[in-house]
């Protein structure tokens, strides 16, 4: 099964580039930028990655991002993640980035986006991984701040496909960002949002009805509301599920109790993703491997999850079909 998963062509639809920042690269970049970090070794960092909830994790995640200053830093961060994609048969990835985490510290929007996009272009050319970008607004900040970010993004609009909403969910409902999402859609960005990770089903309703999102990041708590489940199935919207993130942040107590299989049985279009792989104990293949073991998923379940990853990507229909054909050939030859 492990080999089947490792060779399975797949897409990753929920990945924060700042969450792919491995401790070894963090030390390297901190040293070259002459920035002090509050850790002496990789082991010390890994010990600190013991979270009780989302906010615990976010506090460390934002602190680590402080060492990213130059375009080269964003390039190295992104290229290093894309190399891991190639090694895992992740053929396509949709990368979230948090501009406000960097612009708040005086790093320009241009520095961030240029570093990331140059890495994406080089990776497509050199190692054949396709990617697109999701600019995510930080929901613990104001809508006005998000508007500032939207404005800064306009000169780089052709490099960004979608807008997202992330950071501290509780107390920051999607409705807080109604106007900036409307303006973002008017600029041509596709709306997605984190909803129902720690927040209630009501936040998922708001994300789909008020923000008009096309895909739900996490969405676990939709299971609290039967009419919401029906609505998501009816609208044919995918959920980007992140198993190891869910156990690391205690959204789910044990992978054996993860609702992924239940979601598939209910007709929800689930996909498997890593969220913040450097912090949650595994890249996307580790997420597939661990959830397969915990829930005893069959090869046909895994095939469905990989199909969903391409089908509900933001790629154009031709490219989607090309990947789905490649996946089908793999499944027929390896089932």
Footprint of ligand ADE on 112-131 (CB under 6 A): none
Which residue of the set 197, 198, 206, 290 is catalytic?
A: 197
Residue 16 assigned to a binding site: yes
Which pair of tokens denotes residue 70? 């130059």
Residue 281, sorted as left (phi over 0), alpha (psi -120 to 50) or beta, turns out to be: left
12 touches ligand ADE (CB under 6 A):
no
Residue 276 assigned to a binding site: yes
Among 16, 84, 92, 258, which residue interacts with ligand ADE (rule: CB under 6 A)?
16
CB 29 within 8 A of CB 73: yes
CB 241 within 8 A of CB 263: yes
**Total residues found in the chain within this entry:** 335
Interface residues with Zn ion (CB under 5 A)?
275
Residue 166 assigned to a binding site: no
CB of 290 to Zn ion, least distance (A): 18
Give the rounded distance of the alpha carbon of 132 from its chain centre.
12
Footprint of ligand ADE on 220-279 (CB under 6 A): 245, 275-276
Burial of residue 96, with CB atoms counted within 10 A of its CB: 0-12 exposed, 13-18 middle, 19 or more buried: buried
Longest dimension (CA), the chain: 54
**In whole angstroms, how large is the CA radius of gyration of the chain?**
19
Residue 194 assigned to a binding site: yes
3 state DSSP class of 179? helix
**Is 197 a catalytic site residue?**
yes
Footprint of ligand ADE on 211-230 (CB under 6 A): none
Question: CB under 5 to 8 A by kind: which of ligand ADE, Zn ion, none does 197 bind?
Answer: ligand ADE
The residue sitting closest to ligand ADE, measured at its beta carbon, is 166
CB of 40 to Zn ion, least distance (A): 29
Nearer to ligand ADE, 152 or 166 (CB): 166
DSSP lists the bridge partners of residue 94 as 132
Catalytic positions? 197
Binding residues for substrate, as ranges, are 276
């Amino acid at each position: 099964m492990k080999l089947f998963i490792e060779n399975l062509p797949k897409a990753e639809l929920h990945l924060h580039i700042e969450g792919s920042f491995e401790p070894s690269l963090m030390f390297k970049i901190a040293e070259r930028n002459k920035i002090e970090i509050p850790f002496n070794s990789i082991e010390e960092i890994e010990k600190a990655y013991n979270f009780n909830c989302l906010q615990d994790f976010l506090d460390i995640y934002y602190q680590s991002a402080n060492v990213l200053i130059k375009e080269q830093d964003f390039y190295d961060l992104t290229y290093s993640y894309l190399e891991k994609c190639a090694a895992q048969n992740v053929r396509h990835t949709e990368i979230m980035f948090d501009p406000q985490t960097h612009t708040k510290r005086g790093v320009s929007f241009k520095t961030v986006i240029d570093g990331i996009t140059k890495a994406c272009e080089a990776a497509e050319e050199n190692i054949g991984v396709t990617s697109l970008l999701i600019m995510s607004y930080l929901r613990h900040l104001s809508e006005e701040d998000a508007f500032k970010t939207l404005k800064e993004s306009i000169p780089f609009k052709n490099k960004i496909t979608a807008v997202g909403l992330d950071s501290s969910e509780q107390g920051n409902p999607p409705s807080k960002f109604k106007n900036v999402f409307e303006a973002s859609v008017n600029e041509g960005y596709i709306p997605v949002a984190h909803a129902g990770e720690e927040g209630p089903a009501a936040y998922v309703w708001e994300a789909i009805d008020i923000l008009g999102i096309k895909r739900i990041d996490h969405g676990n708590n939709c299971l609290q509301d039967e009419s919401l489940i029906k609505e998501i199935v009816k609208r044919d919207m995918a959920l980007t599920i992140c198993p190891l993130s869910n156990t690391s942040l205690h959204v789910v107590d044990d992978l054996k109790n993860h609702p992924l299989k239940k979601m598939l049985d209910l007709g929800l279009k689930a996909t498997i993703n890593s969220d913040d792989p450097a912090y949650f104990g595994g890249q996307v293949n580790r997420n597939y491997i661990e959830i397969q073991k915990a829930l005893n998923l069959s090869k046909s379940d895994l095939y469905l999850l990989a199909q969903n990853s391409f089908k509900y990507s933001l790629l154009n229909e031709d490219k989607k079909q090309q990947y789905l054909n490649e996946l089908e050939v793999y499944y027929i030859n390896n089932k």
